[in-house]
Amino acid sequence: MKIGELATRTGVSARAIRHYEKAGLLSAGRLLNGYRDFGDEAVAEVKHVVRMIRLGFSLEEIATFPACMFTGGAAVLCPVALQAHRDKLAEIELLIAELEERRDRLLATLKAAAQQSAEAARAASRTQEATGP
């Protein structure tokens, strides 16, 4: 099939598919007129690439995975891919931890601000008492 059909069948833009091919994630034959010619398996491959991207892998990382990732139909993970997944998991957990730290700092800032504004309100009410009834 040509790139347009692959694009519609996978929901990925033709531009992205060319990008994947240039990155070595996809292989395509060529028709006599130079058009890319993909086999049916390309649909699964593209979907697999999309899954990997959603898992947080970069194209470069995906490119380092050996052929075993595709020969197995995307369900079986060879040791290399397995380790890559574990590494990525650790990386994501680190990211989560960093974001949680950031969140906590923000919460602390907001809490301190709330306390300050409460004190300001008390001070204001005291002032009002003094000048009021």
Partner DNA sequence: CTAAACCTTGACGTCAGTGTCAAGGTCAAG
Partner DNA sequence: CTTGACCTTGACACTGACGTCAAGGTTTAG
Binding site for a second copy (CB under 8 A): 54-56, 75-77, 82, 85-86, 88-89, 92-93, 95-96, 99-100, 102-103, 105-107, 109-110, 112-113, 116
Q: What distance in Å separates the CA atoms of residue 122 and residue 92, rounded to the nearest whole number?
A: 45
Q: Which of DNA, a second copy, none does residue 131 bind (CB under 5 to 8 Å by kind)? A: none
Q: What distance in Å separates the CA atoms of residue 92 and residue 27, rounded to the nearest whole number?
A: 30
**Residue 4 within binding range of DNA, rule CB under 7 A:** yes
Query: Left if phi > 0, otherwise alpha if psi is -120 to 50, otherwise beta: which for 56?
Result: left
**Residue 5 within binding range of DNA, rule CB under 7 A:** yes
Q: What distance in Å separates the CA atoms of residue 45 and residue 26, rounded to the nearest whole number?
A: 7
**Residue 47 within binding range of DNA, rule CB under 7 A:** no
- Contacting DNA (CB under 7 A), which of 26, 36, 42, 65? 36
Which residue bears the tokens 């009834």? 133
